[in-house]
Structure formats: structure tokens, C-alpha cells
Amino acid sequence: MNVGRLFLTIVVAFVYIFATDFAIHAVWLDADYKATAALWRPEVEMRIRFLWMLGAQLLCAVAFMYIWAKTGWRRRSIGDGASFGFGWACSNK
């Protein structure tokens, strides 16, 4: 296992997870969250929990990339990555 490549993929995975979460929650669902504001925590309280969220996203990226690197898959194509990610996501529910 190449540690440099593993670190780079962890960074890329973290950026991807953060970007998709931002797109989903801050862009697409923003109007819905504002319409149902009484159901959610106040924004000030959520800002306090932001570092915990970043830590959880980083932990997911580390776990996913480490398991991916240790599985021994040699083809490592986009399709293999997508099937691995889909299987991993479905097994965590």
C-alpha cells in the first residue's frame, strides 16, 4: 500500500463527502429547512456541532479508503469503486 496515494485519496474522499453534503443540505434542501425551522435545532447550536460533523466525515473517508486499499482489488476502475461504495453504504444502514 502506497501511503502517499492513500493520504491523497483520503483527502479527495473527504472533499467529495463534504461537497456533496454541502450541496444537499445547504443548497437543495435549504428552502425546506427554512420552511420547517421549528423542527430543527437553532443554527447557532448547529454551528457548534460543525467540527463534530467534519470529524465524522473525515472518519468515514479514512475508513472507506483504508478498506478500499486493503481489499486487494487490482482493476480499480470507476465501476469497481462505485460498486464497492454502493455495497459499503448499503451495509451501514
d(CA 37, CA 34): 5
Pair 64, 17: CB distance under 8 Å: no
Residue 59 binned pLDDT confidence (cut-offs 50, 70, 90): very high
Task: Tell me the whole-structure pTM to 2 decimals.
Answer: 0.71
Q: To the nearest whole percent, how much of the chain has pLDDT over 70?
A: 88
pLDDT for the residue 76 = 67
C-alpha 57/C-alpha 73 separation (Å) is 24
Mean pLDDT of 13-21: 93
